[in-house]
Amino acid sequence: MDKQNVYKPSYLIELCKKYSLSPSKKYGQNYLMTKIYIDKMLEAGEINRDDLVVEVGPGFGVLTFALAEKAEKVVSFEIEQKLREYWEENGPENLEIVWGDVMRNFNENNFKKYKLVANLPYQITSGILRLFLELENKPEKIVVMVQKEVAQRITAKKGDMSVLSVSVQYYGQPKMVAKVTKGNFWPSPKVDSAVLLIDNIKSPNNDFSDEHFFEVVKAGFAQKRKQLWRNLSQGLNLDAEKVKNILTEICGNDKIRAEELGVEEWVKIVKSL
C-alpha cells in the first residue's frame, strides 16, 4: 500500500467499506488528513531511533506509519477489532498492536523508557492523561492531538486555572504546539483541535501523597463562585480563620479564588494544612 493514501478521504472511504467500518462517534474516530500536523507531532516528541513509542487508537495508521519510520518500536492500543485484518496485512515490522482498551490493558511494567504520542479520541482525553501522568513509570514526553478548548484549559495560567490544568501542571509542563482546524479531519468534527506537548514529566517529591494534594485542590474548586477559604474550610472541615491566615501568608490575600492559584501555591497550601 502507498502510505500517503491514508491522507485522502476517498481512500479512507474505500477502507471503511472494505473493513465494514463507519467512523464511530462512540470511539471519536476522526481521521487526520494533513501531513504537516503529523510532522509537528513527531517534532514535538523528538522521536528518534532509540525511542519506544506508545500510541492510542492507530485507526488506519496516519500517525502510526510515521512513528514507525522514526522510532525503534511502536506499541499501539486499538479497541476496534474490525481493523485486525488491516494491520495483519499492513503493519510494519517494528509495530506491535495490543487489541483492547488501553485504560484496562496498559501495563507499565512492560515498558522502561517510553513516549506517549496519540491522536486521542476526545471523550477519553482526560482519562488517558490521568492514567499516564499518575503512573509510577511515567512517559518521558506526551504529545497528543486533543480538542483545542481542552488544550487551552490544560495550558491555562493563573487567573484561569481549573482542576484539569492544576492536575496536568502538577506533573509536567504543557504547551500548545499547533492549532488544527476541523477541516483537517475526515469526517470533520464539530470543533477545532490542537497538538499538545507535555514535557519535563516527573513524580513530585513532596511530603504528602498525590491523593491528598488532589483532595485539597478539588475541595478548593468545589464551588467556583465562592472564595477559596470558604471552599477549603467547608470541604475539608477546617477552621475558617486558620485557612484565611494560611492564604494570607502564601498568596497575600485571603479573598482569593481557586482559579487564581498556580501549582506552586497549591503545594504550599497543602503543606501548611
Single-letter residue type at 24: S
Residues 193 and 214 in one domain: no
The predicted structure's pLDDT at residue 93: 97
* Residue 223 falls inside a structural domain: yes
Q: How many domains does the chain have?
A: 2
Residues 195 and 228 in one domain: no
Chain centroid to Cα 202, Å, comes to 15
| pLDDT bracket for residue 25 (50, 70, 90) | low
Q: Note the pLDDT tens digit of each residue in 41-71.
A: 999 999 999 999 999 999 999 999 999 999 9
Domain boundary among 140, 169, 199: 199
Domain boundary among 169, 199, 229: 199
Residue 28 has pLDDT above 70, yes or no: no
Q: Which helix (H) or strand (E) holds 119?
A: strand 115-119
Q: What is the mean pLDDT of residues 89-100?
A: 97
The pTM for the full model equals 0.94
The predicted structure's pLDDT at residue 122: 83
Q: Note the pLDDT tens digit of each residue in 207-217.
A: 999 999 999 99
Q: Note the pLDDT tens digit of each residue in 139-181.
A: 999 999 999 999 999 999 999 999 999 999 999 999 999 999 9
Q: Are 64 and 47 in contact (CB under 8 A)?
A: no
Grid cell, residue 260, equals 487564581
**Residue 174 and residue 144: Cα distance in Å, rounded?**
11
**Residue 155 and residue 150: Cα distance in Å, rounded?**
9
Chain centroid to Cα 126, Å, comes to 6
User: What residues form DSSP beta bridges with 119?
Assistant: 145
Q: Note the pLDDT tens digit of each residue in 124-133.
A: 999 999 999 9
Q: Note the pLDDT tens digit of each residue in 237-269.
A: 999 999 999 999 999 999 999 999 999 999 999
CATH no. for residue 267?
1.10.8.100
| pLDDT bracket for residue 27 (50, 70, 90) | low
109: Cβ–Cβ under 8 A, 6 or more apart, which residues?
137
User: What residues form DSSP beta bridges with 194?
Assistant: 146, 179
As annotated, the binding site includes 30, 32, 57, 78, 101, 119
Q: Are 75 and 49 in contact (CB under 8 A)?
A: no
* Residue 205 falls inside a structural domain: no
Sign of the four-CA dihedral 21, 23, 24, 28:
positive
**Residue 85 and residue 19: Cα distance in Å, rounded?**
8
Residues 104 and 216 in one domain: no
* Residue 114 falls inside a structural domain: yes
CATH no. for residue 111?
3.40.50.150
Task: HSE, CB side, 13 Å, CA atoms: give it for residue 35.
Answer: 8
Closest to 30 measured CA to CA, from 237, 141, 190, 144: 190
Grid cell, residue 218, equals 478539588
Residues 118 and 192 in one domain: yes
Other CB atoms within 10 A of residue 168 CB: 24
As annotated, the binding site for S-adenosyl-L-methionine includes 30, 32, 57, 78, 101, 119
Calculate the alpha carbon distances from 224 to 162, 229, 232, 249, 256 in Å. Answer: 10, 12, 12, 22, 11
**What's the N-to-C CA distance of the chain in angstroms?**
60
* Residue 236 falls inside a structural domain: yes
Residues 19 and 112 in one domain: yes
Grid cell, residue 174, equals 504543557
The predicted structure's pLDDT at residue 224: 86
Residues 163 and 256 in one domain: no
* Residue 228 falls inside a structural domain: yes
Residues 46 and 66 in one domain: yes
* Residue 204 falls inside a structural domain: no
Residues 68 and 172 in one domain: yes
For residues 47, 53, 56 and 58, what is the CA-based torsion angle, rounded to 10 degrees? 70
Burial of 186-220, coded b for 16+ CB within 10 Å and e otherwise, reads: beebeebbbbbbbeebeeeeeeeeeeebbebbebb
Q: Are 80 and 27 in contact (CB under 8 A)?
A: yes
Which domain does 219 fall in, by range?
210-272
Residue 54 main-chain phi, psi, to 5 deg: -100, 130
Residue 17 has pLDDT above 80, yes or no: yes
